[in-house]
Structure formats: structure tokens, C-alpha cells
Structure 1
Amino acid sequence: MKNIVCSIGTWLRKKAPIGGLAALIFFSNSCKEAFLDRQPIGVFSEEALKTRSGINGILVGAYAGLNGAMYGNGSSAGADVNSFSNWVFGGITSDDAQKGADVGGSRSDIERYEVTPASTKLDDRWRFCYDGIARCNDVLRLVPEIKGLTDVEIRNLTGQARALRALYYFHGTIIFGRMPWIDEKTTDYRQPNERVLWKEMEADLQYAYANLAETFPETGRINKWAAGSLLAKILIFQKKWSEAKSVLDAIVANGRTTKGLKYNLLARYHDNFRIATQGSTIDTEAVLDVNYSANDNSRGFNGGLGENLNFPHGGLASQPAGCCGYFQPSQDLVNAHRTDPDGMPFLDDYNRFEVKNDQGIESSQAFVPDAGNLDPRLDHSVGRRGIPYLDWGLHPGKAWVRDQNYAGPFQPKKNVYYKTDEMSGLVDPDRRTSANNFRLIRYAEVLLMAAETEIELGNLEKGREYVNLIRRRAANPDGFVKLPDGKPAANYVISEYKTPWTNKETALKAMRFERRLELAMEGQRFFDLVRWGIAKDVLNKYLAYEVTKRSNLRGAAFKDHNIVFPVPQRQIDATKTAEGTATLSQNPGY
């Protein structure tokens, strides 16, 4: 260690500016001191980690990345683009939402499909994914060297690490497409990005699905069924419908059987997004949660750090957080919740039936919300004027919106905590991070994936059965947003598909529309459009409509190459060979 420190000191003397004087003094004097041979305080030796508690600590560290915080940088920088909620790359790039806030900002280029390889946000995402992968690889590398572990412990440690590794790779793959494969055996980290790593991710998840326990005492760990759900998702992205069906059938039939419990839809849709129900005895829908906590002296690093911009704006004590007005739902998404007199969605022309909004109307002026038929999930996904905003009272409109003219009058709702949560100490002092978990996979999505596989395999009526389970839950009047007098806050009308599905194209359209409504503002929409092969058509149609309402999208256009984002130029430069040859190749179109 002494040689390493002195080498750094030599480098500093050659390179450091005046501001590095203190460092120069330290290194030039201390290379003579014997204390340099001691183990640094706060750093574990590898041998110290080769214990049962040590390896579990590393594994917990791999889970910690799901919060979106960049390891080791001591700040929340990058958490918004790293967050597994994917609101930046999967939300504002879709027809669900806009960047929001006001003019400018480092996410506008992402929203408008104008991001370049020089983007620091892309570099944050790339480095974050490999930070998480490295921690998983540490677990996999050390497990075989630890004495005294049982076979069950080895399988559970290895299975969780491999499932997490696949998740981090997937988290990067849906953004960049091709990535280099780095595993626990890799010694040369200059690896090419020649192809999409479906084979490797699938192998990791197959192992996890076959070897993990069905349940764990702690919430938030990846069990057999969570690994199976991730595996099914990987298979669906590859259009391996039969293989996905086999896994999904097992989850639906057997999921979480060890303790006599089965996955099921919660009775009320909005309970998925409440701290009060998470981890409770009724919480049967959580297949995989990103677990958050608050008021634990972590300065928000254990809360929903990636969501800390996505609250009503205004700095008022009467509103949650008071900052910063990002991630605003689109008019297009709101209109998609319009239903006909029979409670069915308008699959093709929903924008003909615009939902009334308070654009340009001051909070001090009168406003009456839309009186037409609406899917009740709208007011659990979107904050809008005159409708209760959780337990914070009626949304007042413009007073809570940063710039209506720029990105409209609507606000996100699913990631926001309740006023009673803040009063109960479940919110951090900054009021922008809380213990409100993010549902990475909930059972509703398992059912929607099952519906998709059945329809693709020609089992249209089975697909309708699964979709109707989702709609039946949404129709539960106990789950409607209510006014203070107990009456529904809007004219909520929704029903199931009663006519048999006999046409595959129509069935797929209905299933895809249902997926949008059920998972609205959950960061999945863009990636769905891409994997369905309809992103260009849908998003340019969306832009043509939405630009008539909002100024921020003027001139934006989705092009063929925008189905993936560019490889960060910093990573291409950093992995060049000694001769200057690039190891990583750029995605076409960039």
C-alpha cells in the first residue's frame, strides 16, 4: 500500500493545481511514515469479507443500488436517471409524460430525442449500472471461498446476486441496447459491446428461478417468483412466448406458496402506492419492491432519491415536498382514461374526447372538473385541479404547478407520500424522500404479461380473462378517489370486456391499452412501445397532438435510431486500447 500512496503523491506533484497544496504536503511528508502500511479506517480487507456476515453485507450493498444513488459520490447526482422507476428514460420519452418544471434542464434533450453521446446523464446511467454489476460480481467471486456455508445458503446468495446482476444489465440494455459483458471472472475490462446480452441475462435468471427460496423473512429480497417474473420479462422482450408462458403459469398457480400465501391483486388499486399498506398482511401484490426508508440518518439516501424532483412545486407546507414540478403527465395520457357510456376505453381515437383541464386559469378563479365518464385509475395516477390529491386536500391547480404554459397543468401522484405519512415520521426532513417503496414488479404486471403471451400464442379468451381481472379491480368503488363528503370525485365508469375476443390484432390492441392505463407513470411505456415495434408511429402522432397544447415539444421528432440511446462518449474514450483503438462501438444514428 505504501508504494501505491507514494505513487499517487508523485502524480499529484506533477499534475495538481494550487488548490491541491494540502494534498501535496500530506503525500510528500507521509511517505516516510510507517502508518502508511496500516489498513485504512473504513475499508474492509477482502479476507474480512469472506464470512457469512461479510458476504451478506456485500449483497445488501448490491440491493442498495436499486435506489438510484451513485455509489461513492456522496450526493444525489444522477439518481433521477438511475432510478429503477425509469421516469426519465421510460416516462418522459413516452406519450405518458413530459419533463415538466420549466424551460431548459439537462433532461430536455432526452425528452425531445435530441440527446448526444456527450450527455452526462447517459454517462451516469452507464456507470451506475456497472457499479451495481460490480457488487453482484463481488458476491459471486467470493461465495466459493467462504467456509461453512450450507448448500442452501450458497444457492440463495448466488441466486440473488445473479438475479440482481441480470436486473442491472436489463436496466442498461433497455437504454443502450448493446453492452459489454463483465462477470466475476473478467480480468480485462475492455470488452466490446457486440450484441444485446439476452443470453447472459436469461442464464442468470434461469439459475435464480431454479435455485432461490420461494420466500425470505425480509421484504425486498428477490425470491424464486420475483426471479421468475424478471425471467418472463426477458423472454417476452425476445418474443419467446411459449417459454414465458411456462414461467408465468407457474407464478400464477403457485407464487409464494411456502407460507401459504399467494400473489393476488389488492382490492384497491391505490393501495399499491401507499406506505401504509406496503409490507402489511394485505400486501399480496408486491412481487418485487425497491425498499425505501426514512428518518434513518442516511440524508435521504435510503428513501426514494430518484423521485425527489417529482412533487408539486411552490414550497408550501400545505403541499407534499414543495419542489420541483418535474414528470408532468401528458394531456394524451389523461385523455386515454376517457370511457364510453358502457365504461369501455376508446382504443383508437381517445384524443377526440379531451378531458377538461384548468390550463391558464388562476387558482383563485372558479373551475369545475370534467364531468364525463372516466376510468377511475386516472385520479390515482394524475394530480388535477379540483380532485383530492391523496390526503392533502383538493388540488388547487396553477398554484402547485411550476409553469403551466411550458408543460401543462397535471402532476404525478403515484410516487407521492400522504400528509399522514409525514406526520408519522415516514418522510425525511428535506420532504423530498420518503419510505414509499417503488413497485418494480407487481402482480398486476405479471397478469398483463400472461395476457400478452396468451394472445401472442392464439389463446385470446385466456388473454381476455387476465385483462378483465385487472379491470375488475379498477372498478371496485371502494377504491375510487372520494370527495370529503364521501362521493366519487369524478364520474368513474369502467367495465370488463364482455364480448369474446376472436381477432388477435384487436385483442393485442386492447391488452396494450390496458397495460398503459394500469402501469401509467410507472416508467415502462417507452420500452413497451419500442419492443412492440410501434414507437415511431405512436410517438410522432403523440407529438403532433401534444404540441398543440404545450410549447416544450415544439420541433421534436422521433426517428428510427431513437429506439436506443447513444453509448456515452466518455465510456468509448475510457476503454480505448493503448494504441487508441476503440473497444466500444457507437449505436447507429449517433
Structure 2
Amino acid sequence: MKLKIITCIAMTLVLSNMACKKSFLNAPPLGELSKDQLAEKSGVETVIVGAYSVLNGQIDQASNAFNSPASNWSFGDVTSDDAYKGGGGTGDQNNIHKMETFTVDATSLDAQRKWMACFEGINRANEAIKLIKAATGYDETLRAQRIAEMRFLRGHFYFDLKKIYNKIPYIDENTAKKDDYYVSNETLSSVQLWAKIEDDFKAGTTVLPLTQAQPARPTRFSAWAYLAKAYIFQKKWTDAITATNEVITKGNYILMPNFADTFTPENDNGREIIFAVQHSINDGSPNSYNGSIGDRLFPIGGPYWPGAQYGFLRPSQNLVNSYKTTAAGLPVGNNVDLMATDNVDPRIDHTLARQGVPFLDLPETYTTAWIRDLATYGPFSLKKRLVSPLSSHWLRVNPYTNDLNYYVIRYADVLLWRAEAAIETGDTETGRQYINQVRRRARDGKKVQKLTGGDAANYIIAEYTTPFASQATAMSALKLERRLEFALEGHRFFDLVRWGEAATVINNYLAVEKTKRSYLTVATFVAGKNEYQPIPQNEIDLSKGALKQNPNY
């Protein structure tokens, strides 16, 4: 395995222009840091900035962080039943097309770039930890806090690697020589890898402050929440209950009153957000690489996005159908194509664009005339994570980024993890209560309005008012709620894998979608293979046999 910053920390940790908004990570050009600077607090703080700066997936001067996106939209949405790749046909970013059709191999550009981005972050965190321990000028409280921050970031990057590739090498701050980076991805078992990830988050649960003046930095509750996520992925339900309770009972978090308001730059460090990747534009950084560079292919084109006619991450018909509700406001769940007159969960029109429904704050309704390659990818477009082209938060020149943060964990996550853990331990009533908290926000919040006034669709959503008939029924409700709440946020595929349902759900999805999208006829999800991406072949080659390929690639 080859890591790009093992030989010259001063070169790659200069970080002179990796700025993040809300006044965090705004550093003037610094040039290379000397040994003397790296021995003092002021110099080390610059190195710490560098560890944060790669959270958005941008690791070099190529504007292709969409191959290593922080949001995991290609790894977590396009590979699921929620989304099509989109863009200008199957040849546009064909590497992602291969991910969508499960024809990807070990030469995949995206598998390579994501691997590189995560290990870049890990190595920067490791180097920062070593420097923090040795530096002068720190009081011991701040020293411990900064180490915990770097361990949190390391845990975050390892979490991404674990859920995407499964079998990964583990490298910490004790790595001393170049050859120490060529380690096997089979040295640690899955249980041991998870324990390492847990330990990094556990460190923050006692050392990190309850609040941070700079919202980019994790808090004690960020650590508890990420630890809860690690427990959920391992089915450690009792531990997950403990961790989520810490956040719910002691953290100052709420669900934003209006679902759509959560996804606006004005609110993106609000009280629903537990940990986020910070984005910034017009901050003096070259090429606006501090913006949402990994998601820059999202603008849908048409008259309002001049020059940015990309149209990637297109909602699937299956996802659209999942928002249909009964007259009582509960999910229908039959995958019959949605009609304009059907009742729908109001989150549908905050999440995705439908013909004839107003689009953000634009003065006209969405039309399929705006979108790219209608014949291949259908009539729906992303809405939830787009910034209005009328907004100053969207950059009108290449690379067309915006400064909407990417929410790694929000409070709704924690509520639904608490519900899941409760249901899995037999407490379906507690699970129902937490699911209802999320549904209540969707019910009571603002609905999309017609340009002439009044609801833009038949919005009907209700809480589950009677106890679930069984644990299986409760789990079905929980799984659907996660899908409806977090659609197109990069989580769906990983949920299906951890639930052990990926092969069944995706192949059932493909059986129907192949009748609508001819390019999917080659797609088949292979159990025991496609749950994880391949280990990049060039990394295997560089490791001189230390790295082993995932099964069936």
C-alpha cells in the first residue's frame, strides 16, 4: 500500500489554504513548516488544521473529489435501491456506472481514490497526534483535547474504510518507518478492527468538551454518537442504547421544526447537527476546493445552473414509490409507481424533484426539460442536498461548488438508532416512540407549497398510534423510516449490508427496475462479493503481497 505523505510531512501538511467556513480553518499561506515550528503549539495547530481539511475528500489539485466524496453518494446511494448514477449516460463517469451495475473491478478509479483519501486523513491524524504529544506550549487539558480530536477524525476515516472495503490494514501514530505502512489487511480480525475504531471514539467521550466554539471540531456528544454508530453496525444493542442515551438525555440537540430547513447553509451548524464536514466558498482558497467538491456533479442543469449541467445522483422510481402513504398517513410499501393524485409523505418533495412541483425558491415548477438524459435516468432529480442557484451560497463558476455542509451524523440518526436498539432488544414500544418523533417532525413541519398557494401535493403522514404487532413489524417500520428520512444522504447501501438484506433487496429492486431502465439489465448483486468494494489493485501491487483482495473479485 502506498500512502502519499509518508516521506515529507512539511510538504503535504503545509495546508496553507484549506479553509473552512464559520471562521474555522482559515489560515493564511504559510509555506513549509520548519522543525522548530513543528515543535511548538502554533505550528502543530496548523498540522491539525490539515487533518480536518481532507474531510471533504479533496486530497490533491485535481477537482475530482467526486471520486472520493465525503458524502459517499456513489458508494452509499447509487449502489442502493435509492438512486441511479445520472449524468450524461452510462459512459459519463463510467466507473460509477460499474459500481451501480455491480460490474466494478479492482481497477476502479473510485475505489482507489476513496482509499487514498481515507488513508490521507488517517496519516495526517497520526502525524498530528505524534506532534501534539511532543510539542511545547500546550497546557495539558488542551493537549489531551487535541489528541482526542485527531483520534476522532482517525476513527471517522477508519469507519468509512471498514464499511466500504471491510478488510483494511490498521496504522496508528506508532508507525515510525516507511516500511511500517506495508501491513496486511488480514492481521486484525473484523472484531479487532471494530475495537480499534471504538477506542478512538471512546477517547473523545471523556476528554472532548461538551461544546466547541468552532463547529467543525467534534464534541463529547459527537464521540458518543459515532460510538453508537459503531455499536449499531456490530449489533451491540445494549451498548448502543447506553451511547445514544448519552446524546439524547445530555446533549442539547433537537430536530429542526421543518425538515427542509435542516438542509440549508444558513442552518447547517444548527442544533440538529452532531458532526458535519464543513464546506466554504469564496474564502480565498484556490479553485474553491473547500466547497462541496465531492458533490459538485449534483446541479441538474436547465436555465438556472448555467455551465453546471451535470445531473448526477438521480432518485430511483423505487425510492419515489416508497413515499406513498395510505389515507391514514402510514406507508403503503407496495412499489406501485406513484401517481400525481396519490397521498405522499411530505418529505418526498423536500428530498427530490418531481414534475410540476416547485423547486426550492425558483419562480417556476420543476420540469423534465431541465434534466439531462431523461431517456436513461428518468424524470426525477435530487433536491435535498442542492443549494438554490439564486443563493450566494452557490458558486456560479467552475467547479460550481456550494457551502452546504455534509452532515455525517444528525440528531435524527441518533433517535432512529435508539429505536433500532430498543426493537432489537424486544422493547418495541420504546422503538415506536422514537420513530414517531421523527415522523412527527415531518407531519408538523412546513410542506412544499404551490406557486399560487396551498400544498403542492396530497401530503398525509401520521404517527404509528397503536403498538407494533410484532418485533418484525417494528423492524420493518424502522428500516423504512431510515430510508425515508435519510434518502440520498449516502447511508442506504450500508444499512442494507449491516441488516444482511443487501442481496435480497437490491436484486428484487433490479428485477423491477430493469423493465424501466434498460442499462440495468446487466446488473446482478452477488452475495458474498458486492457487499464491499474491491481493494484497489495498485495498492495490492505496491504492498508487495501484504494486502489481500476481497472475496470473489
Q: What TM-score, normalized by structure 1, do the two folds share?
A: 0.85
Residue 233 (structure 2) aligns with = 237
Q: Quick check: 1:384 aligned with 2:354?
A: yes
Residue in structure 2 matched with residue 371 of structure 1 by the alignment:
341
CA drift of 1:420 comes to 4.1
Looking at CA atoms only, which structure, 1 or 2, has the larger radius of gyration?
A: 1
Cα contact 2:388–2:394 (8 A) shared by 1: no
Partners of 1:396 and 1:389 lie apart in 2 by 6
**Matched residue SS, 2:518:** coil
User: Is it true that 1:193 corresponds to 2:163 in the alignment?
Assistant: no
CA distance in 1, matches of 2:362, 2:307: 11
What is the aligned counterpart of 1:402 among 364, 372, 391?
372
Establish whether residue 227 from structure 1 lines up as the match of residue 223 from structure 2.
yes
CA deviation string 1:33-60 (max 9, x = no partner): xxxxxxxx92212331222222222112
Distance 1:313 1:410, change over 3 A: same
8 Å Cα contact 2:358/2:366 also seen in 1: no
Query: Counterparts of 2:103 and 2:70 in 1: how far apart (Å)?
Result: 22
CA contact (8 A) 2:298 2:382 kept: yes
| 8 Å contact from structure 1 (residues 391, 419) kept in 2 | no
Alignment-mate amino acid for residue 34 of structure 2: S
The residue aligned with 2:486 is: 519
Say if 2:358 and 2:365, in contact at 8 Å, map to a contact too.
yes
* In 1: Cα distance, 2:464 partner to 2:493 partner: 26
Q: Measure the CA separation in 1 of the matches of 2:118 and 2:275.
A: 19
Q: Deviations over 1:70-108 (max 9, x none)?
A: 2xx31212x113222110000000000010121222211
2:98 to 109, 114, 132: 109
Do 1:95 and 1:330's aligned partners in 2 also have CA atoms closer than 8 Å? yes
How far apart in 1 are the matches of 2:311 and 2:283? Answer: 26
Establish whether residue 124 from structure 1 lines up as the match of residue 109 from structure 2.
Answer: no
Q: Where does residue 465 of structure 2 map in the other structure?
A: 498
Is the CA contact 1:293–1:426 (under 8 Å) kept in the aligned structure 2? Answer: no
Where does residue 276 of structure 2 map in the other structure? 289
SS in 2 for 1:588: coil
Q: Which amino acid aligns with 1:49?
A: L
Give the deviation of 1:69 after TM superposition: 0.6
1:456-478 deviation per Cα after TM superposition (whole angstroms, max 9, x unaligned): 111111100000000000012x4
In 2, are the aligned partners of 1:191 and 1:583 still within 8 Å (CA)? yes
C-alpha distance in 2, partners of 1:393/1:312?
16
Equivalent runs, 1:479-490 vs 2, <5 Å: 479-490=446-457
| Rounded Cα–Cα distance in structure 1 between residues aligned with 2:382 and 2:366 | 14
Partner residue in 1 for 2:510: 543
In structure 1, runs of 5+ residues without a counterpart are: 1-40, 256-261, 357-369, 577-581
Which of 510, 529, 532 is residue 477 of structure 2 equivalent to? Answer: 510
Question: Does 2:168 align with 1:179?
Answer: yes
CA change 1:154–1:570 in 2 (3 A) is same
Counterpart check, 1:323 vs 2:309? yes
User: What is the DSSP-based 3-state SS (H/G/I as helix, E as strand, rest coil) of the residue aligned with 2:249?
Assistant: helix
Report if aligned partners of 1:407, 1:551 keep a CA contact under 8 Å in 2. Answer: no
2:300 corresponds to 1:300: no
Residue 398 of structure 1, CA deviation: 2.4
1:585 aligns with 2:548: yes
Distance in 2, matches of 1:62 and 1:371, equals 50
Counterpart for residue 212 of structure 1? 208
- Residues 295 and 429 of structure 1 are in contact (CA less than 8 Å); yes or no, is this contact kept in structure 2? no
Q: Distance in 2 between matches of 1:384 and 1:284?
A: 29
In 2, are the aligned partners of 1:294 and 1:428 still within 8 Å (CA)? Answer: no
SS across alignment from 1:344: coil
Aligned residues: CA RMSD:
1.5
Distance change in 2, residues 1:396/1:501 (3 Å): closer
Write out per-residue CA displacement over residues 1-24 of structure 1, whole angstroms, 9 at most, x where no aligned residue.
xxxxxxxxxxxxxxxxxxxxxxxx
Indicate conservation of the 8 Å contact 1:95/1:332, yes or no. Answer: yes
Q: Is the 8 A contact 1:311 1:320 kept in 2?
A: no
Q: Do the aligned partners of residues 471 and 490 (structure 1) sit closer, same or farther apart at CA in structure 2, a change above 3 Å counting?
A: same
Alpha-carbon offset, residue 219 of structure 1? 1.2
Listed as ranges, the matches of 1:446-457 within 5 Å are 446-457=414-425
User: 2:86: which partner in 1?
Assistant: 100
Q: Deviations over 1:334-393 (max 9, x none)?
A: 00000001000024x2x12x114xxxxxxxxxxxxx021000000111111111110123
Secondary structure of the corresponding residue to residue 267 of structure 2: coil
Between 1 and 2, higher relative CO (CA 8 Å, sep ≥ 6) is seen in 2
Mapped partners of 1:550, 1:243: distance in 2: 43
Aligned residues: 512
Query: Structure 1 residue 51 and structure 2 residue 40: aligned?
Result: yes
Q: Report the secondary structure of 2:265's partner residue.
A: coil
The superposition leaves residues 505-555 of structure 1 with CA deviations (integer Å, 9 ceiling, x where unpaired) of 110010000000000100100000000000000000000111111122112
Cα distance in 1 for partners of 2:364, 2:457 equals: 13
Determine what percentage of the aligned residue pairs are the same residue.
39
- Residues 311, 411 of structure 1: 8 Å contact kept: no
Q: Which residue of 2 aligns with 1:31?
A: none
- What is the TM-score with the length of structure 2 in the denominator? 0.90
Report SS of the residue matched to 2:143: helix
Deviation of 1:206 (Å): 0.7
What's the CA shift for 1:296? 1.4
Measure the CA separation in 2 of the matches of 1:204 and 1:228. Answer: 11
